[in-house]
Amino acid sequence: MAKKFPAQNFLNRELGLLEFNRRVLAQAEDVTVPLLERLKYLCIVSSNLDEFFEIRVAGLKEQAKLGGLAAGPDGLEATQILKRLFAPTHQLIARQYELFNDELVPALAKEGIKFIRRTHWNDAQKAWVKDFFLREVMPVLTPIGLDPAHPFPRVLNKSLNFAVELQGKDAFGRNSAKAIVQAPRVLPRAILLPPELSGCPFGFVFLSSILHAHVGELFTGMEVLGCYQFRVTRNSDLFVDEEEVKNLRISLQGELPQRHFGDAVRLEVADNCTPAMSDFLLQQFDLKAEDLFSVKGPVNLVRLMRIPDQVARDDLKFPPFVPGMPTLLQKKGADMFKVLRKSDVLLHHPYQSFKPVIDFIQQAASDPSVVAIKQTVYRTGVDSELMEALIAAARGGKEVTVVVELLARFDEEANINWASRLEEVGAHVVYGVVGHKTHAKMLMVVRREENNKLRRYVHLGTGNYHPRTARLYTDFGLFTSNEEVCADANEVFMQLTGLGKASKLKHLWQSPFTLHANVLEAIRREIKLAKDGKRAHIIAKMNSLLEPEIITALYEASQAGVKIDLIVRGVCALRPGVAGLSENITVTSIIGRFLEHTRIFYFRNDLAHDLYLSSADWMDRNFFRRIEVCFPVLDEKLKKRVLDEGLKSYLKDNIQAWEMDCNGFWHRKTPAARSTQLCAQTALLHELGQPLAVDDAE
């Protein structure tokens, strides 16, 4: 039985998430990052924090209500975690707005990109804004006066709202002192003024400023004493009892609208909001003082994410690039099946193009020799060439089977729509396994070839079948026609669509059956080698490391003398560098232009150099509550590529790398004197991608 380590050897997940967002915010603080990209990073932090409150904080509040639930590996109970989150969360958000107001806004203004405050509008600007309000805004507003006949309205999750203090009587003689105005989501939060009016190339006014200036138009004959913008964040975790429902899709369709009206978990107000109004709003949403965030500026920074797209200043953005193409696929119209019969093909996104994956499905859809296509879908987006190709294949009479994960958080609606369209054209659509999200990234094509034999071709990946995120996230994808690997993939598809016991797979490690045990076995093999006096080394790259038994095994490996290098983008519950426990473990995080999404597991294994790619992080949910696959890279050249590109280059990074200390705090690496500076992402862009001239950026 594995040794159990005390709770103090595990770091807290939620505090780790806040640390991750501090690292993202550091990108917005970094003056070497292009200015409009710094604004994007600021918005990304807000988006991350929204989900943090909607899911993590909401979950903790639910646990606290129930009471008596067991603490996690770190020994902290929900109420204790919530108390510890209070100060760092408020500090992080305060720093966000300080950065926005004191650094980014002035820097953008110097570049002719201004946010024009209503106190600074000239007469011409006031006239334009009033016309815009009367023409575009007022017709879609519904002010709600609060009185016994009009109780406090249901406020949508994360929507922009205004609490208005009034004086006087309305047309019916009512003397209501308060009203709520909800800003429709169809309206942009920052409106671009004509350059001749703004006096600069890109002048924006906030929707909140426009509403503030003209809120009196909504309450004729009454005096507006105050107008305060606010925003509420709600519990957005869907509750669907999969064991009880007969049709998961129908149940989800009924549950999705309720996501907008879950229990409130956070209230954001502008800093001009009076204490009395703040207390009133807290009372309406059944929140406490610690749930209130008073901010100096727009209460929803996420909506400023669109501004860089409205500003034609490429010099203030990351340089454009063209993803590269593997040599084997560079020939226009390359026959994917012919190529894969000769060798495996590895794609490293976003440095290399996602187009071969689209080409593969499109060729399969139109190839008369292809008889069947099977694919898993977790996230694919609202518009997807891949899904359209599957629909075309089904229309063409091919056997198309799609395993659609309906519970992919925040993508449920898009996946329901794709499922409906696929069913309409005769595709087989299944929703995976009750109680286990299908998170594996698998695509299989069955083709009738020489001698009338069927041959399988497979694509396995670490990331989603999503062309847009393939340009933003780092991931590996492997094409192969290796018969044993394809047979394993077919077996997983059979499990997902049919019934029966799991068969033993030759190459793939699979959750919830063998992945956890195989990772533990690989770690223990390195322990044995180290104890035998041989060199032992583990390198693992992932998004999150939380599963306690794996962490315990890594501690044991460190104590045995195994060198362990972990590259963890987000949360890591393991404490590195603790004497007698983990002094042989380092934990690195890379935060840069692209979101690190690759999962790679390397075990030296006495020079066998076992290397696996996976859809799974080392978390409880991935090991035990999801369908995941972990697949080996068998081709020695491709294995070396993954080792060099996906692991070694990141461990050498001294520009975008952060190192974690034993207390869970992160410190940015800096190049030593006279050492070579290396940014892994930039180096890989130059090595695998193709820089794009500005003239070609269109």
607 Ramachandran zone, left/alpha/beta (phi>0; psi -120 to 50):
left
- 3-state SS class at 292: strand
**Nearest residue to 347 (alpha-carbon basis) of 478, 253, 206:** 478
**DSSP annotation string for 49-95:** HHHIIIIIIHHHHHHHHH--PPP-TT---HHHHHHHHHHHHHHHHHH
CA angle (442, 446, 451) in 5-degree steps: 150
Q: Which residues are annotated as catalytic?
A: 439
- Count CB atoms within 10 A of the CB of residue 643: 17
Query: 273, exposed or middle or buried, with CB in 10 Å at 0-12, 13-18, 19+?
Result: buried
- 3-state SS class at 376: strand
| Eight-class DSSP state of 350 | T
Give a three-class secondary structure readout of 189-214.
Answer: CEEEECHHHHCCCEEEEEHHHHHHHH
How far is 553 from 525, CA to CA, in rounded Å?
A: 11
- 3-state SS class at 227: strand
Phi, psi of 599 (to 5 degrees): -115, 120
Question: Crossing angle, helix 355-366 and helix 385-395, to 10 degrees?
Answer: 10
Q: Which two tokens stand for residue 626?
A: 């999801």
How far is 477 from 336, CA to CA, in rounded Å?
A: 14
**Structural contact between residues 192 and 310, judged by C-beta atoms closer than 8 angstroms:** yes
Phi, psi of 680 (to 5 degrees): -55, -45
Phi, psi of 194 (to 5 degrees): -60, 140
